[in-house]
Chains A and B, each alone.
Chain A
Amino acid sequence: AQSVAQPEDQVNVAEGNPLTVKCTYSVSGNPYLFWYVQYPNRGLQFLLKYITGDNLVKGSYGFEAEFNKSQTSFHLKKPSALVSDSALYFCAVRDMGGSTLGRLYFGRGTQLTVWP
């Protein structure tokens, strides 16, 4: 069965420090992986995706994520956090080998708080 796990409900970091938001997945075929961010009272905004190619993908607002096939992980990272990065972050996977081809599965979300 397809699933996405975000093991941390909350991540707190100081402004200027590096941040990592963790994500692991389980799929039957090759994964297409996505990160979205949600600000209060707004819909989800796309940050970045991994389809194929380089394991390190770069996205919007200075975020990047590393695909690790052996660990089935796709952690979101940023070298220097900003207070404005505080939001709810969702990891999502599209299982390209399952019966639900095309369906996007989301994790529960991780609330990132960056304090000044």
Chain B
Amino acid sequence: EAGVAQSPRYKIIEKRQSVAFWCNPISGHATLYWYQQILGQGPKLLIQFQNNGVVDDSQLPKDRFSAERLKGVDSTLKIQPAKLEDSAVYLCASSLAPRGSGFGNEQFFGPGTRLTVL
């Protein structure tokens, strides 16, 4: 079974530039998550999709971050303009739909994109 794919693996940009990350979840996984992992901290949820609808984006800095999952499969996370504090690893994860007892479903993570903002 193929895992969660992410690209690029590494990205270096200057502040105020824009950047986009791509994620392709495990086939059949209806739920897709984007996390931000700052060095020395645990992952923090940015946005959760159920199919192509947003379930939770309350922690997404919407003035600069945006995400879409137009066809309910792959997803793109964009930052525009980037700030120094956006330097982090951006992790994409997917899981089976968490409804009912499905909230116990584990999430499967991609390798992440390491973003450095100079």
Taking Cβ atoms with an 8 Å cutoff, the residues of A that contact B are 4, 32, 34, 36, 41-46, 49, 51, 90, 92, 94, 96, 100-104, 106-109
What residues on B are CB-neighbors of A45 within 8 Å?
109
Whether the pair B109, A44 counts as a contact (CB closer than 8 A) is: yes
- Expressed in whole angstroms, the minimum distance between the Cβ of A54 and any Cβ of chain B is 14
Q: List residues 1-37 of chain B with CB under 8 A from any CB of chain A.
A: 4, 33
Pair B103/A42 contact, Cβ less than 8 Å:
no
Interchain CB contact under 8 A, A32 and B109:
no
A-B pair number, CB within 8 angstroms:
57
A43 and B110 form a contact (CB under 8 A): yes
Residues of B in contact with A (beta carbons under 8 Å apart): 4, 33, 40-45, 48, 55-56, 58, 91, 93, 98, 101, 103-104, 106-112
What's the minimum C-beta distance from A44 to chain B, rounded to whole angstroms?
Answer: 4
Distance of B101 from chain A, by nearest CB (Å): 8
Which B residues lie within 8 Å of A104 (CB)?
33, 45, 107
Known: A43-B91, A94-B103, A100-B56. A106 touches B112 (CB 8 A): no
- B45 near A4: Cβ-Cβ < 8 Å: no
A19 CA to B89 CA, complexed, in Å:
28
How far apart are A66's CB and chain B's nearest CB, in angstroms?
18
Contact B45 A103 (CB under 8 A): yes
Chain B residue at minimum C-beta to C-beta distance from A44:
B109
Please indicate the chain B residues that have their CB under 8 angstroms from the CB of A4 in the complex.
Answer: 42
User: What A residues does B106 contact at CB under 8 A?
Assistant: 34, 46, 49
With A and B bound together, what is the CA distance between A103 and B55 in angstroms? 10
- Please state if A102 and B91 are interface contacts (CB–CB under 8 Å): no
Contact B56 A51 (CB under 8 A): no
Q: Tell me whether B40 and A46 are in contact (CB under 8 A).
A: no
Please name the residue on chain B nearest to A6 by beta carbon: B42
A42 touches B111 (CB 8 A): yes
A43 to B3, CA, bound (A): 11
CA–CA, A104 to B44, complex, Å?
8
CA distance A34 to B91 in the complex (A): 17
Task: Tell me, in angstroms, the Cα distance from A34 to B105 when the chains sit together.
Answer: 10
Distance of A89 from chain B, by nearest CB (Å): 10
